[in-house]
Structure 1
Amino acid sequence: MEINLAQCFIAVDDHDKALGFYRDVLGLEVRNDVGFEGMRWVTLGSPTQPGVEIVLEPPLADPNATESDRQAMAELMAKGHLRGVIFRTDDVDAMFERIRAAGGDVLQEPMDQPYGVRDCAFRDPAGNMIRFNQPR
């Protein structure tokens, strides 16, 4: 029996700003853009991984959520506590320079890690931590 990752979800508070990062800076392709009941979901993926998608979702996709629920989610998002994604690349230093040149919010410059990768980290426009690693 086979099992594969199909989708992962990243909460964003501004889909257009998120697209500026994930599509325009990282080069992911938009596969779907859906609105429903005042909310929006955008699905993106790497052209080299057609079976794996990232879904940019509203921070609280619950029409019954209270205002205090929404405020709590906004506070968690602002602190970067909701999601994180790790991308693999064949040139982490070039990826770092590309994102930094585009104004990316740098959390960690490229460095060799004791667990066998060279990596760097950024925050996306919503505050989520996004890491890029390259096997050593």
Structure 2
Amino acid sequence: MITGVNTVVVWVLDQDSAKTFFTETLGLQARTDVPFGEGVRWVTVGPRDQPEVQLSLMVPGAPVQDAETAEQLRALLLKGALVGCTFTVEDCASAVKELTARGVTFVQQPQPRPWGISATFRDDSGTCHELLQPHQQGREAAGQNT
């Protein structure tokens, strides 16, 4: 049976730019940056406090997609039509303020939701990601008593 999540793909237009955005702007940790076949790189980043979880910053194309599919995916990225990850934070409003000061574009300011307080931002490739301050009962249900 499934025991956890290890890697989540985030589609990006440029791996170098995305790596800088996710590490220097968002504060994630650089994990891996190695060649993976001809002209392809395996680039991963992740939360410092979750070494078992990583985001793979993937550029559309070989070996995953054919040229036509890769172009369609690039078009969706450019359009801002893709949804990425949910990142948990202790204080959503403070995180939004800090990340805005670092140049992050928020498309939705913190809003109460049934699962917590949520804000939405775009990465440097146009993908939307969520910041989430979970409700206390959600943390307890997930075994995260903080």
Give the structure-2-normalised TM-score: 0.82
Q: 1:39-59: per-residue Cα shift (whole Å, max 9, x none)?
A: 222111111111111110112
Note closer, same or farther for the CA distance 1:106–1:2 as it changes in structure 2 (3 Å cut). closer
Displacement of 1:63 after TM fit?
A: 7.5
Distance 2:48 2:131 in 1: 17
Q: Which has the higher contact order (CA 8 A, sep 6+)?
A: 1
Where in structure 2 are the equivalents of 1:99-110 lying within 5 Å?
Answer: 99-110=99-110
Distance 1:56 1:100 in 2: 22
Unaligned runs of 5+ in 2: 136-146
Displacement of 1:112 after TM fit?
A: 1.1
Say whether residues 1:56 and 2:57 are aligned partners: yes
Note closer, same or farther for the CA distance 1:38–1:26 as it changes in structure 2 (3 Å cut). same
Instruction: Name the residue aligned to 2:129.
Output: 130
Q: 1:77-104: per-residue Cα shift (whole Å, max 9, x none)?
A: 1123344100111111111112211111
Displacement of 1:28 after TM fit?
A: 0.9
Where in structure 2 are the equivalents of 1:2-13 lying within 5 Å?
Answer: 3-13=3-13
Note closer, same or farther for the CA distance 1:2–1:38 as it changes in structure 2 (3 Å cut). closer
Displacement of 1:61 after TM fit?
A: 3.3
Q: Report which stretch shifted further, 104-113 or 78-87.
A: 78-87
What's the % identity of the aligned pairs? Answer: 31
3-state SS of paired residue (2:80): coil
Amino acid at match of 1:122: F
Instruction: Name the residue aligned to 2:116.
Output: 117
Q: Report which stretch shifted further, 35-44 or 45-54.
A: 35-44
Unaligned runs of 5+ in 1: none
Note closer, same or farther for the CA distance 1:69–1:2 as it changes in structure 2 (3 Å cut). closer
3-state SS of paired residue (1:97): helix
Give the structure-1-normalised TM-score: 0.88
Note closer, same or farther for the CA distance 1:96–1:70 as it changes in structure 2 (3 Å cut). same
